[in-house]
Amino acid sequence: KKQFPMHAYKVMYALWGLGQMCLTKYIVVVDEDVNVHDTREVLFWIGANTDPARDCIITRGPADVLDHATTTLGVGSKLGIDATKKFPGEGITRPWPPVVRMSQEIKIRIDQLLRDLGLK
């Protein structure tokens, strides 16, 4: 659970500092209510909660020797993405908007409409 500004960055660096986790090229940190096993949901929150200049970090470190994308054997870059809701002190000067969710009734109606249009 995010508890303070920049907490996601602390999580990223902590994970990269754990044994074989140093070979992980990409880490995305999301809020506790996001289902990390649902790729679509994670991608939604990356799009909804990130500004690439503010919320992405590229760093260098150990890389898997089998990773042929690196320019140097065993050394490569890593990308960390903070897809959490932002706290004051994280570059936000306005209130963070509430999450808008569709009711189950609306979801059912939309699904039916998409089927009627041959889109689902």
What pLDDT, on the 0 to 100 scale, is given for residue 96?
83
- Domain membership of residue 72 (yes or no) is yes
Backbone angles phi and psi of 112, in degrees to 5: -65, -40
Q: Are 69 and 76 in contact (CB under 8 A)?
A: yes
- Domain membership of residue 2 (yes or no) is no
The CATH code of the domain that includes 49 is 3.40.1670.10
Structurally, the chain folds into a number of domains equal to 1
- Domain membership of residue 36 (yes or no) is yes
Contacts with 42 (C-beta within 8 Å, 6 or more apart), sequence order: 28, 30, 34, 35, 36, 83
Backbone angles phi and psi of 45, in degrees to 5: -70, -30
Give the sign of the dihedral formed by CA 37, CA 39, CA 43, CA 48.
negative
Residue with more model confidence, 88 or 79: 79
- Domain membership of residue 75 (yes or no) is yes
- Fill in the amino acid letter for 71: T
Taking residues 80-106, report their average pLDDT. Answer: 91
pTM: 0.83
Q: For the segment 1-54, what is each residue's pLDDT rounded down to a tens digit?
A: 999 999 999 999 999 999 999 999 999 999 999 999 999 999 999 999 999 999
Domain membership of residue 103 as a residue range: 7-116
Say if residue 95's pLDDT is above 90: no
What pLDDT, on the 0 to 100 scale, is given for residue 93?
87
